Structure 1
Amino acid sequence: MLEEIDSIIFDVDGTLLDSMWIWPSIDDDYLEKYHLTKPERFHENMEGMSYTEAAHYFLEVFPDLPFTPQEVMEEWMEMVYDKYMTQVELKTGAREFIERMRDQGKTIGIATSNARELVLDTLESLGIRHLFDSVHSACEVEAGKPSPAVYLLVAEDLGVDPSRCLVFEDVPMGILAGKNAGMRVCAVEDAFSSPQVQKKRELADYYIQDYTEIEKRTYEVL
């Protein structure tokens, strides 16, 4: 998995952090607050969207909401911030894996669909901000995942050819984003995306239950 790799790039929610459980409850609380009914395939339709794109999507689905996208994002941030600061944890083995990769001279980046400021604050609260050489959000590029744009931005920032990057992702749209960027991709087990596990296996190059498998070399080559 790590042969001919110079940089490791992580998605955040569900990949680096055990945090996907937060968002369905936040969406439900938000919808209940404004007396809105969730349509079918609501969360599935948002998969891969940037934080900004998701806010625009909300206003398209619920045009009677009297808010701007910026106001929607600010309210979401108020709802999730404390949970990220106090309840979110790293995926098993993630910190040790990152430290080992840095010791081997590999650069480490993040390409997230979440808000960059929330990710940076969460990394600080976990005491790991210093481990990352580049952190970018899909809000900074023209389109969210499966567009490769955010992964290519991180690769450019790290000064590495995309073909020398290994991506870790937890959902199909993210896996496709990494593959569309010309990178190798390892899918990561996460409870939130468990209904999509077969699709994840079909799209990714590798599959892990957690990061301890990499050192043990028990991961699946797909």
Structure 2
Amino acid sequence: MGGNRTKVNIGKAAIFDLDGTLLDSMGVWKEIDQRFFARRHIPMPDDYASAVASMQTGAIARYTIDRFHLDERSEDLIEEWNQDALLLYATAVQPKPHALDYLRALRASGAALAVATSLPPRLRQAALKHAGMVDCFDQVCSVDDAESIGKEEPEIYLLASRMLGVAPDHCTVFEDLLVAVDSAKRAGMKVWAMYDQSSAKDWDSIRSKADGAITDFAQAPAIL
């Protein structure tokens, strides 16, 4: 894999975000957002992506309708986004550097692995398949499964730990968003932050809250 790993015990389980953490998907969502606003002849605000980054899809649809005074239904917006996203996740999204190697190394070490994502099932399955990660995880869950408003709250991480059968204090979470890092810490878990351009403005705060920070999975903690 390359790089010198920090000698840190990740515990018995690792829980991974997808967008911006395992997957370099910033360009995918930028393209989806650009298509959406272009169809409506609305200039795309610079702060839109960061404003919705931690929300689940239903909340994003309601926020978008309210903010831009759209006479549309939430379910229609969601279906439009899903159709664009399904094509791009199945054909274009790529893993972050050395992500697949790291997942395989963790599995070989005996660690339990889970995904905790805001992506709906068909998008995450398409993404995992295209990225070659389908067989890497013991469990996959979403904010919808946790009946959570999003990653502003720790429920999704606690659900993932229950699904894995591993106590929160033996779990390490990998995330790229500030609110997600904070929530995972409140769940009682260790957190390693992955740099993503979409949250670059928060990087200093993210690093100060996380137990460690990386820009490449070659820098991720060693398996002990």
TM-score between the two structures when normalised by the length of structure 1: 0.89
| 1:77 counterpart = 2:82 | yes
Which deviations, in whole Å up to 9, do the C-alpha atoms of 1:108-127 show, x marking residues without a partner?
00111122221112212333
Which residue identity does 1:147 align to in structure 2? E
Q: Relative to structure 2, which stretch is displaced further, 46-55 or 32-41? A: 32-41
The partner residue of 2:30 within 13, 21, 24 is 24
SS of equivalent residue, structure 2 residue 150? coil
Flag the 1:4–1:213 CA change in 2: closer, same or farther, 3 A.
closer
Counterpart Cα distance in 1 of 2:48 and 2:12: 37
CA RMSD of aligned residues (A): 1.9
Aligned length: 216
SS of equivalent residue, structure 2 residue 220? helix
1:150 is aligned to 156
Q: Relative to structure 2, which stretch is displaced further, 24-33 or 162-171? A: 24-33
Q: List aligned pairs for 1:124-135, cutoff 5 A.
A: 124-135=129-140
Structure 1 residue runs without a partner (length 5+): 218-222
Which deviations, in whole Å up to 9, do the C-alpha atoms of 1:158-191 show, x marking residues without a partner?
1111111101111111211211211111011222
SS of equivalent residue, structure 2 residue 26? coil
Runs of 4+ in 1 over 6 A off after TM superposition: none
Identity of aligned residues (%): 31
CA contact (8 A) 1:146 1:180 kept: no
The partner residue of 2:66 within 60, 70, 73 is 60
The partner residue of 2:16 within 10, 24, 41 is 10
Structure 2 residue runs without a partner (length 5+): 1-6
Which residue identity does 2:71 align to in structure 1? L
Counterpart Cα distance in 2 of 1:113 and 1:4: 23
Counterpart Cα distance in 2 of 1:65 and 1:182: 42
TM-score between the two structures when normalised by the length of structure 2: 0.89
The partner residue of 1:95 within 77, 100, 113 is 100
| 1:46 counterpart = 2:47 | no
Greater relative CO (CA pairs within 8 A, separation 6+): 2
Counterpart Cα distance in 2 of 1:123 and 1:4: 23
